[in-house]
Amino acid sequence: MKIIVTGSKGQLGHDLAEALAGHDLILLDINELDITDFNAVLRKVDEVKPQALINSAAYTNVDGCEENPALAYKVNAVGTQNLAIACQKFDIAMLYVSTDFVFDGNHDVPYTEFDDPNPLSVYGRSKLAGERYVASLLNKYFIVRTAWLYGTHGHNFVKTMLKLAAQRDKLAVVNDQFGSPTFSRDLAQKIAEIIVTGEYGLYHAVNTGSCSWFDFSREILRQAGVDIPIKPINSHELERPAPRPAYSVLKNYSLELRGFSPMRPWKSGLTEYFKLKG
């Protein structure tokens, strides 16, 4: 398949380039295609005429989105809308990567694709707006929600924990937010499976199981062989601009109902990350 990947230099974009290597890939990051530029998007999609387009470009700084909502909505909502309009015009299938932060966190069992979103933050609202543009403009679309991504490229929680552990003699990590840490390479491989099917719709795709950020940090340091005390703290002790859901664990229910192979448990994903990092 001929596939455009936007945001190709991002954490997931990098892994998508590897996972989709057997396809005719057109990798575009902001320097090649700014998704907020409507005319540039139309021109590029017309020129390339791919069979599918994967949007992994986003403004992903959750606190940054809260402080600069115009940029959040411009990139995550309007940028996605631009791509969806182009895909509509040239009859191209589109895959949009979305987030667990579309949920408010009031659940105590994992969220499925059949649960109603209710985002708490600008980031979550801007990503949900992107989902709605994709679903309303297109028939041939996939929306893939994921969570707590970390990969070998880009900034993420795993790298932050290892860096802080090297600089400090103790750490304090939030223990009242629960989610599904997901290795971006595993997500990229699942996207590569999904994109070649005609099984359009909404998917959750995360490594299975769940934990708090505190549990996640303990497992990161354990697997890295770093012994340093970590104190569990509550979110209110951090005072960050954007509210986060207390519980945003996702269940890969559509993948299961459609007979896709299950994703591995989050601790095994982390082991694979360390194996690749060397």
Min dist CB 70 to ligand NAP, Å, is: 13
Q: Which residue is nearest to ligand NAP (CB)?
A: 10
Nearer to ligand NAP, 138 or 169 (CB): 138
**Cα distances (Å, whole numbers) of residue 59 to 6, 76, 130, 204, 207:** 12, 6, 12, 20, 23
Nearest to 169 by CA among 123, 223, 220, 226: 226
**Cα distances (Å, whole numbers) of residue 257 to 111, 191, 250:** 15, 16, 15
Six-digit token string for 196: 């070649």
Check if the beta carbon of residue 254 is closer than 8 Å to that of residue 205.
Answer: no
Min dist CB 227 to ligand NAP, Å, is: 27
Marked catalytic residue, from 123, 141, 203, 273: 123
Min dist CB 268 to ligand NAP, Å, is: 19
Q: Tell me which residues touch ligand NAP (CB under 6 A).
A: 6-7, 9-13, 29-30, 34-36, 56-60, 75, 79, 97, 99, 127, 146-149, 154
Nearer to ligand NAP, 42 or 228 (CB): 42
Nearer to ligand NAP, 66 or 228 (CB): 66
SS (H, E, C) 219-239: HHHHHHCCCCCEEEECHHHCC
- Burial of residue 48 (CB within 10 Å: 0-12, 13-18, 19+) is middle
| Single-letter residue type at 67 | E
Nearer to ligand NAP, 69 or 228 (CB): 69
- Is 133 catalytic? The answer is no
- Please state, in angstroms and rounded to a whole number, the distance separating the CA atoms of residues 234 and 164: 19
Six-digit token string for 232: 């569990």
Nearest to 50 by CA among 16, 6, 18: 6
Min dist CB 36 to ligand NAP, Å, is: 5
Nearer to ligand NAP, 92 or 188 (CB): 188
Min dist CB 216 to ligand NAP, Å, is: 12
Tell me the β-bridge partners of 182. 149
Q: Which residues are catalytic?
A: 123
